[in-house]
Amino acid sequence: MQGYRYDSTYEELAVLNDGTMVRLRLVRPSDADLLVEGFEHLSEESRQQRFLSAKSRLTPKEIKYLTHVDGEHHLAIAALTRNGEHGLGVARFIRLDEPPDTADVAITVIDEAQHKGLGYLLLMRLFEAGRERNVAAFHFDVMADNRPMLALLHSLAPGVTEHITSGIATIEIPLDRVARLDRVAQHGASTAAYNRMARGRMTMQSMRTRPFLRHASQN
């Protein structure tokens, strides 16, 4: 990952809308306990939005899959408390086999950290990391009744098409269509200008990536 900003050395402090400071870095294999703890802080509704079905626990195979990422085909950015002791959210992309320049996206923010702009911040960082790796488009699967999430995605790339099948809305966003608002806060803590822009977006909460269970079962 030479030459990437978002590599194993990446670490950033950012300020959320309410003044909370969070630490961002890539997910590591040693984050298994943080992942499990974060899952326990997801409400039933948040789990439903993330996995598109009821889910009471993560299996050991799923935990390994979610924490052992290669940083190129499967990349995950974690948001932690400032001291790094507790997980607040994760944004990840997983490249599709075909076409390989398109990736599925999943974003999860624990309930206590929602409505503060953290999901939006993570998504902006994920867009930048995808551009670094020549990802051309992000694929999103969202529950069709999650209108705030869908409104945000449409605001990021006006004119994209939304398809709904069996209660699931699918949107594909070309990365070059998204304004690079993340550059405002690219060094150190977020600026006031960045926070004003983040407050203007709907808060992201939980979103599932299609290959989650399929890929986990194969590893």
Residue 55 belongs to domain with CATH number: 3.40.630.30
The answer to whether the beta carbons of residues 132 and 183 sit under 8 Å apart is: no
In total, how many domains does the chain have? 1
Residue 43 located in a structural domain: yes
Residue 3 located in a structural domain: no
The answer to whether the beta carbons of residues 170 and 154 sit under 8 Å apart is: no
Residue 5 located in a structural domain: no
Query: Who's near 125: CB < 8 A, 6+ residues apart?
Result: 6, 12, 24, 77, 91, 182
pLDDT per residue over 176-199, tens digit each? Answer: 988 665 443 443 333 333 343 333
| Mean pLDDT computed over 116-128 | 93
pLDDT band at 1 (very low <50, low <70, confident <90, very high): low
Residue 9: CB atoms within 10 A of its CB come to 10
Residue 107's Cα: distance from chain center in Å?
3
> Is residue 148 reached through a cis peptide bond, with omega within 30 degrees of 0 on the bond before it?
no
Q: Are strands 137-143 and 102-109 parallel, antiparallel or unpaired?
A: parallel
- What's the domain range around 129? 11-217
Residue 34 located in a structural domain: yes
Residue 50 located in a structural domain: yes
**Res 23 pLDDT > 90:** yes
Residue 103 located in a structural domain: yes
Angle, alpha carbons 10-13-19 (nearest 5°): 160
Residue 95 located in a structural domain: yes
Q: Which is more confidently placed, 113 or 215?
A: 113
Residue 6 located in a structural domain: no
